Amino acid sequence: MLTFALSKGRLADKIFEMLKQLNLCDINISSDDRRLVITNGNYTFFLAKPSDVPTFVEAGVADLGVVGKDTILEEKRDIAEVLDLGFGKCKICVCTKNEDTEKYKNILNLRVATKYPNIAKNYFDSVHQNCTIIKLNGSVELAPIVGLSDVIVDIVESGRTLKENGLAPATTISDLSARLVVNNASLKTKYEEIYNVIKGFESLVK
Ligand code: PRP
């Protein structure tokens, strides 16, 4: 028996499609499903908020999880990241107003609005720039427009949200995509079953 914690939201439809292709789940699950726990044969699936997937996997209530690299970097949980699933590709960037893509580097105490305070703080520490992190929960692009922050650290996928709001990516912090993660103890105690799942996902990625 293996248990998966899956991310609801943007990554969900592709995850469910892969599970079907691998014959791990033949029940129809959709991204707006209201069920939270679904059992199919030897597998149980939790549908969790993306930022909570690493928590379920670290605690061992889920053996495996599928989650974005952004969440892995932000949550810093003790889990094993075993495979890049190759979808949900995007970047996390420092973004600024169009006209200032370099100027932000000279601001002494940079005001940074973000949904990702750990990623943002780690990045500015790594380049030795002082900053004040302003945690927001969404529509982060608003912050520099209305004067709450100098820059944002946010996900850029198509780039449309930035463009439509007069902003631009200035520096890429990391490339992102969906990842398969595993509980460290399960990796030892259920090695064979988990290895087969990893091999299955790998065959879909290549
Ligand atoms: C994410 C991200 C950007 C947008 C980027 O927000 O925070 O705002 O998507 O996508 P794009 O480059 O394709 O325009 P999300 O849609 O998750 O909503 P939120 O801002 O309310 O969190």
Distance (angstroms) between ligand 1 centre and the Cα of 155 equals 6
d(CA 196, CA 84): 16
At 69-98, the pLDDT tens digits run: 999 999 999 999 999 999 999 999 999 998
Domain positions in the chain are 2-88+177-204, 90-175
Radius of gyration for the chain, computed over Cα atoms and rounded to the nearest angstrom: 19
- pLDDT (0 to 100) of residue 101: 86
Contacts 24+ apart (CB under 8 A), 134-140: 140/113, 140/114, 140/115
d(CA 76, CA 69): 11
The answer, yes or no, to whether residue 32 has pLDDT greater than 80, is no
Distance (angstroms) between ligand 1 centre and the Cα of 108 equals 28
- pLDDT (0 to 100) of residue 177: 98
Ligand 1 pocket: which of 10, 151, 155 to mutate (most atoms <8 Å of CB)?
155
Burial of 32 (0-12, 13-18, 19+ CB in 10 A): exposed
Tell which wins on pLDDT, 25 or 201: 201
Report the first-to-last Cα separation within the chain, whole angstroms. 26
d(CA 146, CA 116): 20
The verdict on the CB of residue 139 being under 6 Å from ligand 1 is yes
- pLDDT (0 to 100) of residue 149: 98
| Ligand 1 atom closest to 156 (CA) | 12
| Ligand 1 atom closest to 141 (CA) | 8
Distance (angstroms) between ligand 1 centre and the Cα of 175 equals 15
For ligand 1, atom 21, the nearest C-alpha belongs to 138
At 105-131, the pLDDT tens digits run: 999 999 999 999 999 999 999 999 999
Q: Which single residue is written with the structure tokens 């529509």?
A: 139
Same fold, 2-88+177-204 and 90-175: yes
- The highest-level CATH class for domain 2-88+177-204 is alpha beta
- Which DSSP string do the residues of 45-101 spell out, in sequence order? EEEE-GGGHHHHHHHTSSSEEEEEHHHHHHH--S-EEEEE-S-S-EEEEEEEEGGGT
Number of H helices, E strands in the chain: 8, 11
Measured in whole angstroms, the distance separating CA 57 from the mean position of its chain's CA atoms is: 14
Q: Which single residue is written with the structure tokens 């670290």?
A: 58
Token digits for 47?
A: 């549908």
The verdict on the CB of residue 157 being under 6 Å from ligand 1 is yes
- pLDDT (0 to 100) of residue 143: 98
* Mean pLDDT, all residues of the chain: 95
Distance (angstroms) between ligand 1 centre and the Cα of 161 equals 7
- pLDDT (0 to 100) of residue 117: 98
- pLDDT (0 to 100) of residue 94: 98
Fold of the domain spanning 90-175: D-Maltodextrin-Binding Protein; domain 2 (3.40.190)
The verdict on the CB of residue 92 being under 6 Å from ligand 1 is no
Please state the rounded mean pLDDT for residues 19-35.
86
Distance (angstroms) between ligand 1 centre and the Cα of 138 equals 8
